[in-house]
Structures are given as structure tokens and as C-alpha cells.
């Protein structure tokens, strides 16, 4: 066993605990830009944007689509409280494309009963899901 320090990464949504794992490095989609976290990081709370959360564990690299929220960093534990999150391999590409088409149709309909802000959020979410599904992790 190596003596290399690790971070504990927890990703939690209102629906479920998505991940609880020890990792070597985390890149968060912070509100003001991507934020890297290594063991020994100072205590910090970051507002999260819609974006890609990446982590590295040894040679393994994974990506999650994160739909906003907060990240708390304290004592080598990174707790991500997200509105929603999905691992790249969990994303159904056909479903994401269908949701994108539906949201775009809602936006273009100009119907007074359509919640434009919600439709715009659905477009952002579907585009993020497709981005995470179709890219290779980068470090």
C-alpha cells in the first residue's frame, strides 16, 4: 500500500448519493472557472456552475455532468451537493437528444404558457449531458 494521500469525493443530489470514493485529483466546475483540488487543499466552499466534474484515481479518469450546486472542501474531503449529476456512462444519448429537441421546440414556440427560464435550463442540461457522454476525459 502506498503512503500517497487521497481525497474523499462525495457527490450528493436530492435524489441520491451518486459517488463516495477516494481519488487523487478533482477538477470542479466552479462558478468563476474550473478549480483543481489535491490532497491538503485549504478549507473552501465553492459555488458550482453547470459543467463537467472530473476526477482521477490512479490511471482511472471519470467525468460527471454536474448541474450546479455547492462544493465543500475540508480535511481532504470534497462534498459536492449538486442539483443533479450523471456519470458519463449513465447518460442515455438518445434520451438527451430527445430532451434537447423538446426544450428547443418549447423555446421556439413563443407560447405564453411556456416557462422560458425552465426551457433554457433544460437546453443547458441536455447539451451538458451530450458533451460529457461524447468526450474523452482530459487531464
- 93-117: average pLDDT: 81
**One domain for residues 13 and 35:** yes
**One domain for residues 28 and 44:** yes
**One domain for residues 80 and 118:** no
CA distance 110 to 105: 9
**One domain for residues 95 and 74:** no
Which residue range forms the structural domain that includes residue 103?
90-133
**One domain for residues 54 and 98:** no
Angle between helices 93-109 and 116-133 (to 10 degrees): 150
> Considering the domain boundaries, does residue 42 fall inside one?
yes
The total number of structural domains in the chain stands at 2
The CATH number given to whatever domain includes residue 15 is 2.60.15.10
State the Rg of the chain over Cα: 16
Residue-wise pLDDT tens digits, 23-47: 999 999 999 999 999 999 999 999 9
Query: What pTM value is reported for the model?
Result: 0.81
Amino acid at each position: 500500500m502506498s503512503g500517497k494521500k487521497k481525497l474523499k469525493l462525495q457527490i450528493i443530489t436530492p435524489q441520491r448519493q451518486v459517488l463516495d470514493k477516494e481519488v487523487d485529483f478533482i477538477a470542479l466546475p466552479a462558478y468563476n472557472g474550473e478549480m483543481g483540488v489535491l490532497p491538503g487543499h485549504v478549507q473552501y466552499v465553492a459555488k458550482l456552475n453547470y459543467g463537467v466534474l472530473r476526477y482521477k484515481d490512479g490511471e482511472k479518469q471519470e467525468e460527471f455532468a454536474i448541474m450546479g450546486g455547492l462544493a465543500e472542501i475540508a480535511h481532504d474531503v470534497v462534498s459536492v451537493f449538486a442539483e443533479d449529476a450523471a456519470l458519463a456512462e449513465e447518460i442515455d444519448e438518445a434520451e438527451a437528444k430527445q430532451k434537447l429537441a423538446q426544450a428547443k421546440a418549447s423555446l421556439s414556440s413563443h407560447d405564453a404558457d411556456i416557462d422560458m427560464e425552465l426551457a433554457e435550463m433544460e437546453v443547458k442540461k441536455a447539451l451538458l449531458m451530450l458533451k460529457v457522454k461524447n468526450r474523452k476525459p482530459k487531464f
